[in-house]
Amino acid sequence: MKIDFEKYSLMVLGVSAGGMEVLRKLLPFFGHDFPLPVVIIQHLHPNQGEFYLRYFNDHCNLNVQEAVETELVRPGNVYFAPPNYHLLIDLDKKFRMNVDPRVNFSRPSIDVFFESAAEVFKDQLIGVILTGANDDGALGMKAINDAGGYTIAQDPQTAEVYTMPLAAIEKTKIDWITRVEELGTAIQEYDKNHI
């Protein structure tokens, strides 16, 4: 599958149980010239340390960092939602955070960010849902689909925990259901063709 990433302005990923392993596989596929900022909403323990940021920064060609309030979303970066905050994006394409109640037992919630991003980026958004143990992200993927964005779900049969991608597949039309390695290859192929 080839994706014309230049048609889009933002890529968002939602992941929960099994996330560290799947991101360990996926993030090294991103090359220096990948044209989109990437925002990852991962369910993390509220007291999660920063080891995972340092680890992924060492294994990804893009700059990996935690999202910061009012920061403008920029290409060349992979942003993680900070633990225990809902992350949103506003119309000026800057991050916002709040401590509203948990959604789907989660804060950050994938649905909260995906719905916010769909409202801002509309058909310029790629949404990806990966392994996870609840249905967070299903409504967010529907919002992306309804706004005309491109939706990708990990094949539930290949997910460490299939519940989250399966919930998204059942909730809305998914443009591409795939293995993580195939998504990584599509990302890598883009970079090879734009050196």
> How close are the terminal C-alpha atoms of the chain, in Å?
19
- Would residue 136 show up in a list of annotated catalytic residues for this protein? yes
In the set 4, 9, 43, 155, the catalytic residue is: 43
Alpha carbon 172 to chain centroid, angstroms: 17
CA 144 – CA 156 distance, rounded (Å): 20
CA 56 – CA 73 distance, rounded (Å): 19
CA 55 – CA 21 distance, rounded (Å): 12
- The residue among 130, 26, 150 whose CA lies nearest residue 78 is 26
- Would residue 92 show up in a list of annotated catalytic residues for this protein? no
In the set 9, 16, 106, 109, the catalytic residue is: 16
In the set 9, 106, 136, 194, the catalytic residue is: 136
Residues labelled catalytic: 16, 43, 136
